[in-house]
Amino acid sequence: MLARVFEEAGLATVGLSIVRQQAVNSKAPRFLHVEFPLGRPLGRPGDAAFQSDVIRRALALLERTDVPVIEDHPTVIEDEADEAATCTLPPRHDPDLHPAVDEARGLLPAYRRHVESVGGRTALGRVVDADRIGEAVGAFVELADGASLADVGWDADQVRAAGQDVRAFYEEAAMALSDHVPGARQIESWFYTATETGPVIASAAAALREAGEDRNTWYYILPGNHGR
Amino acid sequence: MSADRAIRERVGDIPTPDFDDTPVTAAPPLADAKVAIVTTAGLKPAGEVSLWQPTDGSFTVLPAAARDVQLAHFSPNFDRSGFAADINVVYPVDRLDEMAAAGEIGSVAEHHLSFMGAQFDATFSTILLDSGPAAAKVLIDQEVDVVLLTPI
């Protein structure tokens, strides 16, 4: 849709398409359809040559006059959600803490190593920063046990954002615990199935749903393929 | 079925406006073209990490030199580890810089833009009539010729 607006304004566009039918429906002039994992439209993180090839194939469509044109990239890359990443989790440290809170605190050094390795960039910080990650996980433990949003001091936007913050913390820590960039959704699957905290988040979302909270409160806390 | 394939099947037929034409602008030769990225990944400049709302049709302006942009898309339904490792897998700023240095493209815009994708019909008219034209003006004011649109 943006392509149409830009073309009408005098800008030439070429788009990468990830849902082919939507590209067809838009009737925008030029798309390279990429059957790559959602979240990785250039295909392979850390592979500059592959990414440049994708861009060159897309820009080459600017020479086509038989618009609208949708060309398919010849490579198909599937997500690997069925094979969770294997990242070592920290040993139990403080038996007085809920295991999920203890685990999150134990991952702080790994999280910090990753953030340092990418020049300080992090997706964390919508409502929680790393120093308060244990408090955020503790709030989800309370929600999973039946506490209300008011009990933990969050509104609907904050609980959704906190869910993404906690996920981002774990995913970025996992990057430091893996010697390569895992396949798409492998870290996501690790978080929701292999850690203490992932299932707590899922239980909190279920509890909010059962309590009759607005759909926007719980629906976007976790991916649809992890028990929403 | 893979998680992504299930999503693609589910969202492929989401109703969109019924267009009956294809607006098209001719591009100059690539070696002379100024290129900008407009991504629908829901990126924000560092420090502005508030989450996008599901019906937010606005856009952000990202300095092309910045590498600390943050992924603030509302949807949990895509892989985020690729971006955590390498922003270029979504937002290929380094690749465009390399292509400009090699003379494959003329130059790179001083600012790129981000919208948030996965919008529904309530937001379409905002993008078509309001924020989309405003974004086009930001690009035209930079004398951009070509826009590379990247989703997430």
Provide the 3-class DSSP secondary structure of residue B43: strand
Provide the 3-class DSSP secondary structure of residue B15: coil
Supply angle C-alpha A43, A31, A186, rounded to 5. Answer: 25
d(C-alpha A146, C-alpha A156), whole Å: 16
* pLDDT, tens digit, 9 for 90 and up, residues A20-54: 998 999 899 999 999 999 999 999 999 999 999 99
DSSP annotation string for B19-42:
-------PPPPGGG-EEEEEE-B-
Domain spans of chain B, in order of start: 3-11+33-150
Say if the Cβ atoms of A37 and B77 lie within 8 Å.
no
Report the gap between the CA of A91 and the closest CA in chain B (Å): 24
What residues of chain A lie within 8 A of the CB of B128, using their CB? 1, 4-5
Provide the 3-class DSSP secondary structure of residue B100: helix
Average pLDDT along chain A: 95
Structure-token pair, residue A141: 């433990």
d(C-alpha B61, C-alpha B81), whole Å: 24
pLDDT of A136 strictly over 90: yes
pLDDT band at A227 (very low <50, low <70, confident <90, very high): low
Report the gap between the CA of B71 and the closest CA in chain A (Å): 6
- CB distance from A87 to chain B under 8 Å? no
CB A79 within 8 A of CB B79: yes
Interface test with B, best of A59, A69, A165, A167 (most B CBs within 10 A): A59
Provide the 3-class DSSP secondary structure of residue B4: helix
- Dihedral over alpha carbons A143, A148, A151, A153 (to 10 degrees): 80
Model's pTM, two decimal places? 0.94
What residues of chain A lie within 8 A of the CB of B26, using their CB? 12
CB B152 within 8 A of CB B126: no
Domain spans of chain A, in order of start: 2-76, 99-226
CB B109 within 8 A of CB A11: no
Handedness of CA A225, B1, B4, B6 (dihedral sign): negative
Whose CA is closest to B84, among A172, A152, A110?
A172
Interface test with B, best of A11, A158, A175 (most B CBs within 10 A): A11
Handedness of CA A125, B77, A213, A101 (dihedral sign): negative
* pLDDT, tens digit, 9 for 90 and up, residues A164-213: 999 999 999 999 999 899 999 999 999 999 999 999 999 999 999 999 99
Question: Which residues have C-beta within 8 Å of that of residue A219, sequence separation ≥ 6?
Answer: A205, A228
- CB distance from A91 to chain B under 8 Å? no
Provide the 3-class DSSP secondary structure of residue B142: coil
- Dihedral over alpha carbons B60, B64, B70, B75 (to 10 degrees): 60
β-sheet bridge partners, residue A71: A32
pLDDT at residue number B51? 62
**Packing angle, helices A156-176 and A133-144, rounded to 10:** 120
* pLDDT, tens digit, 9 for 90 and up, residues A70-123: 999 999 999 999 999 999 999 999 999 999 999 999 999 999 999 999 999 998
Extended beta strands in chain B, E state: 34-39, 43-44, 60-63, 70-71, 107-108, 111-114, 146-150
Structure-token pair, residue A89: 């989790």
Structure-token pair, residue A138: 């503790």
Say if the Cβ atoms of B132 and A51 lie within 8 Å.
no
d(C-alpha A100, C-alpha A140), whole Å: 10
Please, what's the largest Cα pairwise distance for chain A? 68
The runs of H, that is alpha helices, within chain A are: 2-8, 20-26, 48-60, 99-106, 108-117, 133-144, 149-152, 156-176, 186-194, 197-210, 215-218
pLDDT at residue number B18? 85
Structure-token pair, residue B7: 């999503």
Low-confidence ranges of chain B (pLDDT < 50): none
Report ipTM for this prediction: 0.95
Report the gap between the CA of B64 and the closest CA in chain A (Å): 15
Say if the Cβ atoms of A13 and B83 lie within 8 Å.
no
Say if the Cβ atoms of B25 and A7 lie within 8 Å.
yes
Whose CA is closest to B82, among A130, A32, A159, A123?
A123
Structure-token pair, residue B41: 């990944």
Sort B74 into a burial class: Cβ within 10 Å, 0-12 / 13-18 / 19+: buried
